Structure 1
Amino acid sequence: MSEHLSIVQQLGVAALVLASVLWVAGLARMLRRDHAALMTDPRSLRALPRQSPPLVECVELSPHERDAFAGLVRQFSKGH
């Protein structure tokens, strides 16, 4: 079969195979490094960004808005 392929095609296949092998080796190295870091310090996951707690938001409602909200809660509660 290789006698039907040009040298450019054979070089292209070789380049793709080499790139695939290098990618798999890099991925294995990265996973091994993260696994070793995780075993020493469970909080050091590099794949996950550091997350901060959500900010608490508070809005003051007027008496009319509180009554309207209470009416909505009663309306939705009747269905259950």
Structure 2
Amino acid sequence: MPEHVSILQLTGVVGLALVTATWVILLRTRRRARAAAVVRHSGPVLQALPHQRQAPPHRESVELTPAERDAFAGLMRRLDER
């Protein structure tokens, strides 16, 4: 035992090492148990979600007036210049 280390410090370090080792062992066993439970319960997945559509939703469109079309074309030209 080094001279400059007190008994209390040495006991604290050993205690922290033991607590850390115990914590790691508990985490690993819980992960393994959880992974085994997932394998056992591999039945139908996510039954609460509604069925997905096979086709996409219809596209919405709005007819623009000639003035709106001209304004949009002008905006596109301004953005093209950048």
TM-score, normalising length: structure 1: 0.50
Pick the structure with greater CA Rg.
2
| Structure (1/2) with the larger helix percentage | 1
Indicate the structure whose relative CO is greater, using CA pairs within 8 Å and at least 6 residues apart: 1
